[in-house]
A and B are shown apart, each in its own frame.
Chain A
Amino acid sequence: MPLTDYEIVIGLEVHAELKTESKAFCGCSTKFGGRPNSHVCPVCLGLPGVLPVLNRKALEYAILAGLALNCRIAERSRFDRKQYFYPDLPKAYQISQLDFPICSNGSIDIPADEELGGGTRRVGITRVHLEEEAGKLVHSGSGILDSEYSLADYNRGGIPLIEIVSEPDIRSPLEARRYLEQLKLLLQYTGVSDCKMEEGSLRCDANISLRRKGESKLGVRCEIKNMNSFKAVEAALQQEAERQAELLDSGEPVISQTRAWDEATGTTVFMRTKETSSDYRYFPDPDLAPIVVTADMVEEIRRRLPEMPDEKRRRYVNEFQIPEYDASLICGSKPLADYFDSVVAVYEGSPKTVANWVMGELLRLVNQEKIEVESVRITPRQFAALLRLVDEGVISGSIAKTVFEEMFATGEDPDKIVARKGLKQISDADELASVIDRVLAANSQAVESIKSGNQKAVGFLVGQVMKETHGKANPQIVNKLLKERLGL
């Protein structure tokens, strides 16, 4: 049976590190990098006698995230200890939330897989809860299982995390990727997490099962781990779906198990069965007081939610008359949207103009140089200044592109570049007259062609004037003067 006769059922579990200054339960810095074990204290090291104290901001960020994901914020919530032994877990328990998570019953809308009919897929969010990170293990060998020893660095231990669990509403590996992209976008907008899988501030585990189309009972699911990018998630799920389909086709059962994605071979490999699942012996943490969140507190935090992507997109389309496609693209990246907003804020002209430049020249150079929008050297003030130079006719549109490239490379002010390189547009008729004379003289064939009715050659002549003046001539004025000279 081809894969398309099966319905793929996917649920995703995402862990996102929260961007607080200090850890979830102690005051150690959360700064990335740094000498191993230099951001630790008795509390996050789990020394005898220490106690946790909750970071207020971690709670607020978790609530912000929940609101961005349309969740219900729990009026009463508490912390539970999840107990297991592992060298990266100093207390041999992780402070987490089991029975009373801070957020629940939310959803994200994503574009559904076109091959499944397209439209919108609403993916339910079962819960968002707060917990703490474990430390990091460095293995002496190439992987954990072939290392003679491992080294523990607890700098990361204790950093606050939110765990976001989706309902099994995702129906294809592509949708899984879209879910992650939308989730990342929403979380980036709230500012609570960077969501960078490559840096480890976002992690994803997936659960996937298959069932015959039309069946309501869920198939046996397998857990997939160790995917380091959204692309890997999509590829791993595709692989796994095919593996399960093959098994089911040949009448074999799918065995509940955990598999790891192996980037090198592009396959999933068996890790362990799910029969012997861990007994975490959860119980309420006696060292932490319960959390009570009133409706007023929720509203106060909700007011801190910035304009979210959908809202922003609608505003760009309706207020700025920016095309839907462009608006989506700009809103699809918080740094880009922020950048765009800051330019519009200091530019009196049309936001549509800004949008054109952002979509055009800016993105072109950003992609070419493979840098992040946050690293762009051109300040919003400089950007606006450049646009003003074009508006005022000081430079032409095409010259402006050259100036922009220079600004991008050096961060220099546009007017300084224009002055230094003598790029001012030539609009003076007398100045242009002599150039036009030369061009007409050198292009008698074109002149003849125009005189016999070929209007197109005017453009050619304009081009020649532009070439002569190294692009500095004002093309509208050149066009007008040429036509006058030619008696058109």
Chain B
Amino acid sequence: MELTPDDVKRVAELARIELTEDETRAFVKDLNDILRYVNRLQQVDTEGVEPAYHVVPLENVMREDCVTPSLPVDEALDGTTGRSGDYFKVPRILDVD
């Protein structure tokens, strides 16, 4: 299943990464090389095999409903270059959730 430039553009959009035309071209090649390699997985008979989404047989790992200290507001906002008062500022949101 060969990827086309449009496929790559669609994936880049989903991943929110802006690509140049050169990058798109390069990724078409790279991703197709990789896909060609990983497609060998289709040869493996996995009929009735449960996917191993976890490697540790842990279950019901939980914590008690106790309040623990939060970060001071200044520390919470320290990492951003978009601080506005006590908020994180973002430019106009065009897509409505």
Contacts and interface: CB of A to CB of B under 8 A. Distances in A.
B76 interface: yes
Contacts of A332: none
Ordered nearest first, which 8 A-B pairs have the shortest CB separation? A27-B68, A151-B87, A57-B65, A36-B86, A56-B62, A289-B58, A152-B88, A284-B53
B67 interface: yes
B84 A22 contact: no
Given A27-B68, A55-B65, A289-B60, A40 B88 contact: no
Interface stretch (B27-35, B40-48, B89-97): B89-97
Interface in B60-78: 60-71, 73, 76-77
Contacts of A39: 70
A85 interface: yes
A394 B85 CA distance: 62
A292 B86 contact: no
A281 B76 contact: no
A284 B56 CA distance: 14
Contacts of A113: none
Given A27-B69, A40-B76, A149-B89, 10 more contacts: A21-B67, A27-B67, A38-B76, A145-B94, A149-B84, A151-B89, A272-B96, A279-B14, A284-B54, A289-B58
A42 B68 CA distance: 12
A41 B75 CA distance: 9
A53 B93 contact: no
B21 interface: no
Interface residues of B, number: 37
A261 B68 CA distance: 39
A253 interface: no
Contacts of B88: 37, 87, 151-152, 154
Interface of B: 14, 16, 53-54, 56, 58-71, 73, 76-77, 79, 84-97
B76 A21 contact: no
A20 B64 CA distance: 10
B54 A149 contact: no
Contacts of A86: 93, 95, 97
A56 B63 contact: yes
Nearest to A90: B88
Given A145-B94, A271-B96, A286-B54, A42 B66 contact: no
Given A27-B68, A37-B76, A38-B73, A292 B60 contact: yes
A59 interface: yes
A57 B61 CA distance: 12
Nearest to B14: A279
Nearest to B51: A284
A36 B93 contact: no
Interface in A282-319: 283-284, 286, 288-292
Contact of A281 (B14, B79, B96): B14
Given A28-B67, A150-B90, A289-B58, A85 B16 contact: yes
A421 interface: no
B93 A54 contact: no
Contacts of A152: 87-90
Interface string A15-32: 000001110001111000
B96 A37 contact: no
Interface string A116-153: 00000000000000000000011100001101111111
Contacts of A87: 88, 90, 93
